[in-house]
Amino acid sequence: MSPVILSAAGVALVLDDAAPGLPRVRHFGAGLGPVAGADLLPALTSPAPPLLPAQGDGWYGRPGLSGGRDGEHWPVRWTVDGIDVTAEPGSGGSVTVTASDARAGLRLASELVMDGGGLVRMRHTLTNTAASAYRLAGLVCALPVPARAGELLDFTGRWALEKVPQRREFGQGVWSRENRRGRTGHDATGLLVAGTGGFGFRAGEVWAVHAGWSGDHVHYAERLAEGVALLGAGELLEPGEVVLAEGEHYSTPWVYFAWSGAGLDDVSARLHGHLRARPLPVRPVTLNNWEATYFDHGLDRLLELADKAAAAGIERFVLDDGWFRHRRDDRAGLGDWYVDEGVWPDGLHPLADRVRKLGMQFGLWFEPEMVNPDSDLARAHPDWILGHAERMPPPQRHQQVLDLARPEAYAYLLERLDALVGEYALDYIKWDHNRDIAEPVHDGVPGVHAQTLATYRLLDELRARHPGLEIESCSSGGARVDFGILARTDRVWTSDSNDALDRQQIQRWTGLLVPPERMGCHVGAPRDHVTGRMLPLAFRAATALFGHMGVEWDLTAASQEELEELAGWIALHKRLRPVLHAGRVVRADHPDPSALLHGVVTAERAVYAYVQISSRPVIEPGPLRLPGLDPEAGYEVRVAGPGAEGIAMPAWAAMPAWAAAPVRLTGAVLGEMGLPAPALRPASALVLELVRV
């Protein structure tokens, strides 16, 4: 048959099945125009890996499939049984390739789907067709990248400082990022990107891969001496974790691939488009009481906090950790999911009722997958702890992990969550996961795979029983941010740090994968509880503005002036929400390393932030060249935000004339010549609102 072409939004993927074995991926990248498959035959000469690379196909790099049977090693050589194509040129489509190896006793189904935005997702399903067990060691998804992709970008990080970028040359060999934390991880790359030298947000050709999986995983880039290179990802399996009996199958998580000919912003837009295909209701401005009261759940104090929140325009009140039995600190009570009668003699109803009378939604914090050894649950069911029966796993945060793949533990959690959501008509759950999983053993085998699938089932069942319930994925902040968990939740808690200076970078890079409306971004206290840094309210609020805005601050201790200014920022966020939560995210490749310039653009409006994150290396800052605008359109530009006239500037500096009153300029002028930049002090931000005229 002629080569198969999937194309959409300027992207093309070409599969060639002329050679024996699985089809080879001849091209993944720029669109090829209105070309027919037969027209490509003369071009299909360069080396290319098959859908699942193996030595039998001439591939001597990392194999796509690894595993075996006890006492027998038989390398797989696939015979294609069928290729099912559903494709419309320019609109994407899907390809499913089925293959088998009767001697190896295996059957394979490989799926590729390109959506209308040009994002490709891929997964393999492996079935054991032989009588003996097949011990699966690894099954990954990979697509090729061309020789001109000579640079790699990935991310690392830690608690309260997630998504730290790092770059390196894409040389020969394998660059592998492996995660064995049992959850996605603070240091997880999220996206592994290959690109042409010096690529940025608005320039360069780039390819990216993301594994949509919340357990152990691997992302890797590999270049062989033969000149072939690829990006791959998948679940990372421990020996014996997946053993397939006859007729049993294993499916990889979906792995996502994106291409852009115009820098990282275009990759980001394709990824955001995938998540936005599942629409969300309007994102309510949220107050979480954690950094306001911690474990102090005095009703009077919480009622006063709710009153202050409603007066500031907040739309949702979330009661965090400390409401359940025995939970006066973090050493006890996890797993005892009953309202603490000693602290809440009338249950949570007095608070929930007041919150709703004030016009706000009510939400509650849980950490369902965890248990304190000092809890009624652990004392009654020590066998429910994920680990070996003869030895407790190493503790973290005074807690262990519940074995959700154990039916009794799963049933207990589902009953408790279902009952509490029902009793209090919860609008929202903050679902936390506060430790890495160490030494996970389930029924005598490694347990992360089963634990992750059980967590997904629990989330899916709870949502099925309560269709209007929204769920936030929190994991010590941003340690579980991936498309697997985001398929079942409505936002992620981006970081446990509310330090707006650190948050600028954390949100910038997390936002490559996650659109603003799904990133929790809160206004913290004047002195940050993690870093101890003092930051002005205008800067804290301008940082939180560009996400799912919230507040994590004891408003009962705030001054009247602070409350009024906060209310102004919340009102601005509500007014700009249709832009911020639906537009295309853009980031300038700003030449000044001490400043950031980013925004969100729709057809009719745009919002930008110019952020001074440190002292400038030069006296006069460069112009603000606003990316993403229609060059032919005219725009009215104005400074937005409460107290905009009081933006922090050095004593010697003056605000540019354009900031004093709205100006009208074309998108071409704003994008090429730009606006004179104000000389801001560090930890200051200027918010601009643009309206098409």
C-alpha to C-alpha distance for 638 and 646, rounded to whole angstroms: 15
**Parallel, antiparallel or unpaired: strands 491-493 and 470-473:** parallel
Eight-class DSSP state of 608: E
Task: For residues 654 and 561, give the distance between their C-alpha atoms in angstroms, rounded to a whole number.
Answer: 25
Q: How many helices (H) and strands (E) does the chain have?
A: 12, 38
Q: Which neighbouring-strand residues pair with 234?
A: 218
Is 431 among the annotated ligand-binding positions? yes
If phi over 0 gives left and psi between -120 and 50 gives alpha, with beta otherwise, what is residue 322? left
383 is in an annotated binding site: no
* Interatomic CA distance for residues 291 and 269, integer angstroms: 33
* HSE-CB for 278 with a 13 A CA cutoff: 12
Distance CA 137, CA 141 (A): 14
| Distances from the Cα of 572 to the Cα of 144, 547, 549, 663, angstroms | 45, 13, 11, 20
Q: Residue 81, SS3?
A: strand
Is 320 one of the annotated binding-site residues? Answer: yes
Choose, from 266, 496, 502, 528, the residue flagged as catalytic.
Answer: 496
**Cα 408 from chain centroid?**
31
The answer to whether residues 447 and 490 touch, using CB atoms and an 8 Å cutoff, is no
CB atoms within 10 A of CB 88: 11
> Residues 6 or more apart from 569 whose CB is under 8 A from it?
523, 537, 538, 541, 542, 544, 545, 641, 642
Cβ density class 358-396: b for 16+ within 10 Å, e for less: bebbbbbbbbbbbbbbbbebbeebeebbbbeeeeebeee
CA atoms of 152 and 197, how far apart (whole Å): 9
Active site residue 496: yes
Query: Cα 595 vs. chain centroid, distance in angstroms?
Result: 24
216 is in an annotated binding site: no
Does 499 belong to an annotated binding site? Answer: no
Contact 200, 533 (CB under 8 A): no
AA letter at 669:
V
Residue 432 is labelled as binding a ligand: yes
Bridge partners (DSSP) of residue 27 are: 14
What does the angle CA 287 – CA 291 – CA 296 come to, to the nearest 5 degrees? 100
Annotated binding residue 84: no
Tokens of 485: 């968990």
Neighbours of 651 (CB within 10 A): 5
- The verdict on whether 499 is a catalytic residue reads no
Q: Is 376 annotated as a binding residue?
A: no
Q: At which residue do the structure tokens 């996206």 appear?
A: 191
433 marked as part of a ligand binding site: yes
Catalytic residue, from 265, 336, 432, 482: name it: 432
Active site residues: 432, 496
Which residue ranges make up the annotated binding site for substrate?
159, 320-321, 397, 430-434, 474, 496
